[in-house]
Amino acid sequence: MDKRDNQFDTWFSPQDPGSFSTVQAKVDNSSPTAELYSDFDFIRHFLIDRHFAGSMPPCVVTFNRRPRSIAYIGADTFENIVGETAHELSFNIAKLREHDDRFAMSVVACALVGVWRQTHGPRGKGNRPPTKGYCDRAMASKMQEIGLVPSNTGLPGGKRTGHGISYYVAEGGPFDLDARELLATGFRIRWRDHPSQLPRIEHDEASSEGAPQKKATRVRFECPECEQLAWAKATAVLECGVCHCALVPG
């Protein structure tokens, strides 16, 4: 820690592995809702303080079970009674269950980079906002700066820009060190998706009776932002008419 983290100085102290963090002792423990939302909101504030100079537009944390995304950003999707707006940071609670707390923290960090790109990053020609779902050089550089290495494969050597870009955590990088420090306090995300809520794979009895199946000639394409669907030949190049980003096969 350095002097810029004053607001967290009194919150951090080593804990026994089986005990709750001193950080979590500061929040309302009266309900599962308060605990889950406060844990993610604390991660958000912690990362903003560390990597975004404490400056980020208001955001509301929500959770979802979208089948094909682990997180998404909604620009100005919330409004209060006096007309002030806030972005939405929505996390797939079912997919996060498959990973540890360090990974969940990295998903929050990556979402914050997306918010930074939308609000503080360079604009395109004619002051156009960045293309939704597209990781450009500005976003890739910011990710690299905080210790998340952009890669379309999620592994070293992958493509850094484009649609469908993932990332991996740089060992010993800024984010990695911050995550280790926070977890060393005993901080844990206290609520997870229940195993009974995980997706089930069901067999279609009608298609398993031995009758010859017609060979598929079209594949499904999906918008990575709004999940709009389309079917076309595998070689087709499609664009979402709403988000104006490339549809991906899957």
Phi, psi of 86 (to 5 degrees): -145, 145
User: What CA–CA distance (Å, rounded) separates 13 from 11?
Assistant: 7
pTM confidence score? 0.68
Burial tier of 221 (Cβ tally within 10 Å: 0-12, 13-18, 19+): buried
> What separation in angstroms does the CA of 115 have from each of 88, 120, 132, 182?
9, 8, 11, 22
Domain boundaries, the chain: 9-128+171-193, 218-250
User: What CA–CA distance (Å, rounded) separates 78 from 193?
Assistant: 25
Note the pLDDT tens digit of each residue in 190-216.
Answer: 998 887 655 544 433 333 344 444 555
Note the pLDDT tens digit of each residue in 115-163.
Answer: 998 887 666 665 666 677 788 888 999 999 999 999 988 889 989 998 8
